[in-house]
Amino acid sequence: MTTTDTITPKSLLTRAADIIEERGWYQGSWTGNGGCVCTWGALNVALAEAADLVDDEAPKPPDPDYVPGDLYNVYASAEMTLANAIIDASCDTGMGIAEWNDAPGRTKSEVQDLLRRAAGGA
């Protein structure tokens, strides 16, 4: 992914699910030992890859100063789509991405399924 013409919220969400498969899933922080990532961390790594940013080892919130505006807008749309999918899945309008990821009993499979479901609605 290198051109904003081919990067969509759907492609970022799908790639985030793939990143969790490749790197592993984590709870409690952006990233854990061995490079595993949380839901939000995976979405941020997908953006870093899409923007050809070097810093994909430390998934953290994207800085609009370093991400082209149109790509940042695609990311923001993917993030909102994911947040809405979490609301739909949990029936909790106050639960954010991090809280949903870190909920006791949450599984890697649930995370990947939600990312893919969100991608289908993007």
Residue ranges per domain, the chain?
A: 9-116
**Residue 107 has what pLDDT?**
96
Q: Buried b / exposed e across 29-38, counting CB within 10 Å, b at 16+?
A: ebbbeebbbb
**Residue 56 has what pLDDT?**
47
Regions of the chain with pLDDT less than 50: 1-3, 56-58
**Residue 88 has what pLDDT?**
85
**Residue 1 has what pLDDT?**
45
The type of residue at 82 is: L
Q: What Cα–Cα distance (Å) separates residue 95 from each residue in 65, 74, 75, 82, 107?
A: 28, 22, 19, 12, 17
